[in-house]
Amino acid sequence: MATRASKTVMWFLLVGVCLSAVTAGCGPQGEDNAATDKAGKPRAASPLEDKPLSDYRIKLLETAFGAACALPVPAHRKDRGKAQERVVAACIKLEQPKRAIEYTDKILNWRQGACYADLAFFRAQQGCRGREVQDYLDKAVKVSSVSRDWSRDRIKAKVARVHALLGQDRKVAELASSLDKSELGKTAGMRASIGDDGAFNKHVSTLDALAKSGGLDIAANVGTSLVELYDRYYEDKRRRLLIAEHIEKNSDKVPVFMRLEQLLKMADIALGREDRAEALLLVNKAQQLYDGAEWPLRFGIPWKARLAAARFGVGDTERAKKDIDSTHAQFNEHRDNILNFDRAGVLRPIAEAYQSMGESAESLAVYKQAIKEGAVNPNARPRANDLSATCCSMALSGIEPDAELWDGITKIREDLCEPW
């Protein structure tokens, strides 16, 4: 349970960082603000409809969700909910809110509440206000009321993020009073600073104070918020460099893979500003961090693939293609040293990287390999998880299975039965 002092820190983080930033970016404060674009201009609400999507992508999403639903309850309720949430997240990324709602309604654990809150956030970003968004929030809160501890707080943090986007400061403050501080950075991380330049020093000092309070979750979420500040103030070089120093200072409190996530996100931010030189410096910094650590194969190979994709994105294409080829070769060489239920997960980032480089034939070949490796384990639980995850990955990457791959996918789906 949070102490009075920690609740004070929570309130300042949520209201002082998230709210002042969001409301400044969204115009006059109030319960029914219209959404705004990056220029601060009101954005018209969009109707609830799925964006046109290729038939094969729809079929992949359906297969992914069907594989997730094949996991029996109550024995595998956790795995089932996690896999279902992943499909909902893919639907939201592909702008399929109606499909996401349909799938969310079928989730049987606390992740249903998290998905409702994510849907509310997505629709609020699209300019939707009023009853629709509130209905999703009400459903999320209802699920949180019967959830336990950290899962309850995780849902409530997502709900607070939506209220912050809507400029509803009283509701954010109410939620802050009961949230564990380990969840706060996620709420503040919702574009913690899309406005209110005058509060910059307060934002940074509040995050520093929270980071000093200790804990991996806190440090990770503070890092997320700092990266959002980095995005907001990118054009202000002095502030950008100051934020980068704070990110670096916070980095010794988080594992290497979290630091890599931050650096690649920062590289994406720089690339979005057409600052390729800075983006390349950040990718190189991430590469040095990766090279200086020891990695088990199941973690090291996927990160190597992600770094290759990032390098391609910043324009170092020749090395990127060499790196992804060597990454795939590394998997093939050491395949037998990777547990069979890890192999598909190791291959998916390689396939995604190839597709990001425009190498669709190579990507399809690796996805075929991932589908095959995901079917090796005699138990249906890992097969269902891998089938669902790989179908999601293909849908997001835009890889259409050929007849051979569809046959393999269909057979695996049909064979999901005991033993689990």
Nearest to 8 by CA among 234, 239, 173, 212: 173
User: What residues have CB less than 8 Å from 214, skipping those under 6 apart?
Assistant: none
Where does 71-188 have alpha helices with state H?
77-93, 97-104, 111-125, 131-145, 149-165, 169-176, 184-188
175-179, 266-270, 291-295, 391-395: which has the minimum mean pLDDT?
A: 175-179
Residue ranges of the domains in the chain? 56-77+295-420
Highest-confidence segment of 15-19, 44-48, 184-188, 397-401 = 397-401
The answer to pTM > 0.85 is yes
Nearest to 140 by CA among 160, 164, 168, 166: 160
Q: Is the pLDDT of residue 40 over 60?
A: no
97-111, 146-160, 337-351: which has the minimum mean pLDDT?
A: 146-160
Other C-beta atoms closer than 10 Å to the C-beta of 87 total 30
Residue 224 confidence class, pLDDT cut points 50, 70, 90? confident
Handedness of CA 265, 271, 275, 279 (dihedral sign): positive
Answer whether 1's CB lies under 8 Å from 7's CB.
no
Residue 35's pLDDT is: 47
Residue 182's pLDDT is: 61
Q: How many helices (DSSP H) and strands (DSSP E) are in the chain?
A: 21, 0
- Residue labelled with tokens 């324009």: 315
- Rounded CA-CA distance 126/121 in Å is 9
Q: Is the pLDDT of residue 16 over 90?
A: no
DSSP 244-263: HHHHHHHHTTS-HHHHHHHH
User: What residues have CB less than 8 Å from 14, skipping those under 6 apart?
Assistant: 160, 164, 172, 173, 175, 176, 179, 184, 187, 188
Q: What is the pLDDT of residues 376-419, one digit of tens each?
A: 999 999 999 999 999 999 999 999 999 999 999 999 999 999 99
Other C-beta atoms closer than 10 Å to the C-beta of 275 total 17
Q: What is the pLDDT of residues 71-88, one digit of tens each?
A: 999 999 999 999 999 999
User: What residues have CB less than 8 Å from 334, skipping those under 6 apart?
Assistant: 297
Cross-strand pairs, 36: 42
